Structure 1
Amino acid sequence: MNTVWMTVAAYLVGSISFAVVMSALFGIADPRTYGSKNPGATNVLRSGNKKAAIMTLIGDGAKGWLAVWLAIRYADQFQVGDMTIALVSIAVFLGHLWPVFFRFVGGKGVATALGVLLGLNPWLGLATLATWLVVAFAFRYSSLAALIAALFAPFYYGLLFGVEPQLFAVVAMSVLLAYRHSHNISNLLAGKESRIGSKSAGAAKPGASKHK
């Protein structure tokens, strides 16, 4: 029973879309209405509001980390094991992808996946983050960096800890992350993918006139 409610709670935490929340707080357009229409930090950055993007990144990452950290922290107290931690890991990620609070229209899960990995083990998260940073710095494509980091994450986990239930959660996240980036993959192949930092004309403040 503890496994069930912990998994459901993780999904609900993951369903909090910080891109939408922060955009509302900072008075910018809903990220689901411009750019890639993805409610994530990279698309929020296209609004030109770096603070909103940073807060989105922190919030989406923190919810993944918190759900997993709490599951590990209280595993003994609630008599749950590695399988429950694995289910919590994938549940908070699924919440971000298909949030119940936002009609199941969520982000692509990069920041939340990183938070989950950091929660499982800081070295695992840092190794994956380093991979993302190297690729992003070299090519300036957030999607490409995310795809390559997702490819390496299960490898890093297996190298550090071997085959455990959490490894399958990491593999599942990597597969889902690649699936959510299918459109980006097509754009990358066609040379149409937006680079990190490019602005979108549709990211004006809500109600702002397009004509001066």
Structure 2
Amino acid sequence: MIFIFMLIVAYLSGSISGARISARIFKTKKPTEHGSLNPGATNMYRIGGLKAGVLTLFIDVFKAVLPLWGSYFLGISPIQLGFIAIACCLGHIFPIFHAFKGGKAVATAFGSMLPIGLDLGVSLIITWFISLYAFRYSSLASIISVALSPVYVWLLKPTYVIPVSMLAILILIRHTPNIRRLILGTEPKYDQKR
């Protein structure tokens, strides 16, 4: 019963849109109508600047940290934690508060993994920044970081490899259009405005 309750809490928490909140606070253009049309931190940075991007990132990360940390302390099993993390990310991708039109859930997936340990969080952040610096594509940096997350977890806390792998697959599937654009050479770089 607690597991079902936390699934619902995670989905509703995931449905909170950091980009839309940030757009209202900073009075920017709507992220779903400008830039990459994706309500995420990178697009908010493109259309609203650094503060808007950072606030979006903060909200989208911590809306996942809270239900996952809570579930962990309630003694929910690792596999069930994986499903709760997926529910949170599905809330971001298909938010009930915004006509089921959401983003890629990278920051939310990161927030879901953060309770596993700060060492994992630091590893993912370093991987993302190195990849961004090397390739200049935010989407590719996210894809590389997410793809490596099960490897990092296997090295740090193997108990959570399966739930993290489930989460990684979801995020990689969500990035299929980005992967296609990267192959075609039409994906915009992180600092490129459309």
Q: TM-score range by the shorter chain?
A: over 0.9
Contact 1:154–1:170 (CA under 8 A) maintained in structure 2: yes
Q: Which moved more, 1:81-90 or 1:9-18?
A: 81-90
Larger CA Rg, structure 1 vs 2: 1
Distance in 1, Cα, partners of 2:133 & 2:59: 23
Q: 1:74 deviation in Å?
A: 2.9
**1:157 maps to 2:153:** yes
Q: 1:168 deviation in Å?
A: 2.4
Greater CA drift, 178-187 or 133-142: 178-187
Residue 124 of structure 2 is matched in structure 1 by: 128
Q: CA deviation at 1:119?
A: 1.5
- 1:178 paired with 2:161, answer no
- Quote the sequence identity (%): 38
Alignment of 1:1-212 (within 5 A): 1-75=1-75, 80-162=76-158, 164=159, 166-200=160-194
User: 1:12 & 1:120 partners in 2: Cα distance?
Assistant: 21
- What number of residue pairs does the alignment pair up? 194
Within 2, Cα distance between the matches of 1:82 and 1:46? 37
User: Residue 86 of structure 1: CA displacement?
Assistant: 2.4
Conserved in 2, the CA contact under 8 Å of 1:141 and 1:196?
A: yes
SS in 1 for 2:146: helix
Q: Which residue of 2 aligns with 1:204?
A: none
Which secondary structure does the structure 1 equivalent of 2:32 belong to?
Answer: helix
Quote the Cα distance in structure 1 between the aligned partners of 2:118 and 2:125.
Answer: 10
The AA in structure 2 aligned to 1:3 is: F
State whether residues 48 and 199 of structure 1, in contact with CA within 8 Å, keep that contact through their aligned partners in structure 2: no
Q: CA deviation at 1:146?
A: 0.6
Q: Mind listing any 5+ residue stretches in structure 1 that lack a counterpart? A: 201-212
What SS does the corresponding residue of 2:37 show, helix, strand or coil? Answer: coil
Instruction: Normalising by structure 2, report the TM-score.
Output: 0.93
Deviations 1:129-180 (A, max 9, x none): 2111110111110011011111100111122222x3x422211221121111
- Give the conservation status (yes or no) of the 8 Å contact 2:26–2:48: no
Distance in 1 between residues matched to 2:162 and 2:46, nearest whole Å: 34
Pairwise CA distance, 1:91: 1.4
- What RMSD, in angstroms, separates the aligned Cα atoms of the two structures? 1.4
Q: Which has the higher helix share?
A: 2
TM-score by length of 1: 0.86
Deviation at 1:122, TM superposition (A): 1.6
Contact conserved, 2:22 with 2:55, CA < 8 A, in 1? yes
Cα separation, partners in 2 of 1:48 and 1:81, compared to 1, 3 Å: closer
